[in-house]
Structures are given as C-alpha cells and as structure tokens.
Amino acid sequence: MDTILDPNRPAAGGGAPADAIRDGDQSTFMQDVIEASQQTPILVDFWATWCGPCKQLTPTLEKVVRATGGRVKLVKIDIDKNQALVRQLAQMGLPLQSVPTVVAFWRGQIADLFQGALPESEVKKFAEALLKLAGGQTPAADLLGEAKAAVEAGDHAEALQLFGQLVQAEPENPEAFAGVARALMALDEEDQAQAVLAQVPAKIANHAEIASVRAALELAVQGREASAKLGEIERRVAADPDDHAARIELAVALNAAGDKDGAAEALMAAIRRDRDWNDQAARKQLLKFLESWGFADPASVAARRKLSTLLFS
C-alpha cells in the first residue's frame, strides 16, 4: 500500500519540466520572472542562508511546484546576494524586510504574496489560487480527469497510480480514496481495498463515494459465493417463482458478473410478487446495488425509475 500512496511518486505526465525550478538573480530577474510570467505563473522565493524558516519553506515550495507539472514555476533569489534587486523592488512597493517572502507574478505583475513558512496545505492553496487566476486547471483536477479516463479505458493499474497521486495531493478527497479502492478491486486486490478504506479520514468517512465503495466490496464477497452456485440458484427460481431468497442470490450473482440490469430485474420480480417478504429484503438489496453503482450510473437511474413506478403505482 505504501507504494500506491508514495508522496515521492512523480506527478502525472512525467512531472515538472527541468526549468520549473531555478535559482535567479538581479541580472536574470526580468527574463526569469517578468517576461516568463507573461506565459506561466511564477513564484519567487526570496530567502537567505541565515534564515531558518527559509530552509523549511523552500523544499515545500519545490514539492508543490513539481506537483503542478510545469503550470507554475519557481525562481529562488538569495536576498543577500541580490541587494540591488531587493532595493529596486522595495521602491516598487514590494515589502522584503523579512524572509522568507514568496511573491506570485502573473502577466508581469504581482498577483499575491505571503511571508513566513506556511504549512504545505496552505502553500498548495496559494499555488492553486494562482493557477485559477491564470485561467489554468489545478493539477488535482487534471489527475482526476486522467484517472477517470484510465478507468474508462480499462487500465486499472494506471488508474490506481493516478488516484493514488490524487490522494497525496488532496488527502480529504473522497473521489480519490474511492478511486484507489475501486481500482484495487478491479485488480482483484480486495484486501488492499479494505485497507485503503480503513485509512479514510473521519471527515469524509460517510461521504456517498466512500459508502458506495464499501457497498461494492460487500457485494463482491457475496457475488463470489453466489456465482459459485449459479446453476443451483437458477434451478431453484425455475422450480419455485416464489423462492425470493433464490431470486436475491440470483441478483447478487448477476451483479457480480456485471449484469446490472439483470440483477435489478431479478429483484424487481421478487418485489412484484411479494414486496414485504422478509422485511422487504429484495427492495433493500436493490438499494444496496444502487448505492454501490452510484447515483448517476445509467443502471441506477433506470432501476430507480422502475422501483418508483412499482412502489407508488
């Protein structure tokens, strides 16, 4: 599991370009910052060798910038070696009395700044706000899009890597955790998927995405058991149409085989014949399917419509 959520894993698309982080000085400031910011948002890290907080902040800045994959660049300037530049910037109203000071440039202008060694989460927010100002998409949004595309393509190993990176970028993103768990399930690593769900922060533990994966995991276990005796279950249903326990097992087996519509119809048949059987067990099983499939899944939409018609007719 540690390899999946490795914070040192490169960002999607091969990571940041080689020139995303560089040391600057007063002779290159115009080119590296003012001119470069016409195309790409630039963070300038004003630091000093004697500054303890600078030593804490600079590695964080570098990590955040690398995670943007080149959408934001970082220029580091030692204020002691570039005092003429510091004086010039001070005359322009840029406060550099203390370090670290981080200044965001966009289109040749100062967009924002902060002073002091902020925690990584705050630095991420600062960089993302700069990206939004520049009209760019955040790296997390890109990762999510790439991960979903990998799922659509059936490349669950790639989806696992991308969702894992997204968990690192946004540790309270329920779609990221759910994506990791679903990818592991698709790769027949259900124990790993359970371990991932055990790591879900309490803040998002009851989110619909997380609940959906939990339901899917439970159904996967039931599905294997039912699939192993599918022939027997089908014979029971054929012999006794009112064997609702067998219909529910049939639905579970069909769902495990990927036949969502067939699974829903098996339960609908049981509900039509006796909706109150065993404390409405067929309806409750169908709701569990819908939860695991997700609200927007076409099979969920169709099944909800049929269930509504059946219950309120």
Active site residues: 51, 54
Alpha carbon 267 to its chain's center: 33
